[in-house]
Amino acid sequence: FELPILAPSILAADFSKLGEEIEKCNNANIRWIHCDIMDGHFVPNISYGPDIVEAAGRSTDAFLDVHLMIENPDQYIEAFVEAGANHITVHQEACPHLHRTVQNIHSHDITAGIAINPGTSLSTITPILEDIDMVLLMSVNPGFGGQSFIPSTYQRLQQLVQIREQTSTNFVIEVDGGVKPHNIQKVAQAGAEILVAGSAVFKADDVQKRIATLQNKARL
Residues that bind ligand DX5 (CB under 6 A): 9, 11-12, 34, 36, 67, 140, 142-147, 176-179, 196-200
As measured in angstroms, the least distance from the Cβ of 33 to ligand DX5 is: 11
Whether residue 146 is annotated as binding a ligand: the answer is: yes
Among Zn ion, ligand DX5, none, the one that 84 touches (CB under a kind-dependent 5 to 8 A) is none
Report which of 153, 156, 147 is spatially closest to residue 200, judged by C-alpha positions: 147
Cα distances (angstroms) measured from residue 60 to each of 51, 55, 75, 187? 15, 9, 26, 27
Smaller CB separation from Zn ion, 113 or 191: 113
As measured in angstroms, the least distance from the Cβ of 44 to ligand DX5 is: 10
Smaller CB separation from ligand DX5, 98 or 201: 201
Whether residue 199 is annotated as binding a ligand: the answer is: yes
Whether cis (ω within 30° of 0) applies to the bond prior to 4 is yes
For residue 156, give the 3-state DSSP assignment: helix
Among Zn ion, ligand DX5, none, the one that 197 touches (CB under a kind-dependent 5 to 8 A) is ligand DX5
For residue 119, give the 3-state DSSP assignment: coil
Smaller CB separation from ligand DX5, 105 or 195: 195
Mark whether 133 is an active-site residue: no
How does DSSP classify residue 31?
A: -
Q: How far is 33 from 160, CA to CA, in rounded Å?
A: 24
Whether residue 202 is annotated as binding a ligand: the answer is: no
Provide the binding-site residues for Zn ion, judged by CB under 5 A. 36, 67, 176
Q: For the chain, give the number of residues.
A: 220
Nearest residue to ligand DX5, by Cβ distance, number only:
198
Q: How far is 197 from 178, CA to CA, in rounded Å?
A: 7
Mark whether 206 is an active-site residue: no
List, by residue number, the catalytic residues.
Answer: 36, 176
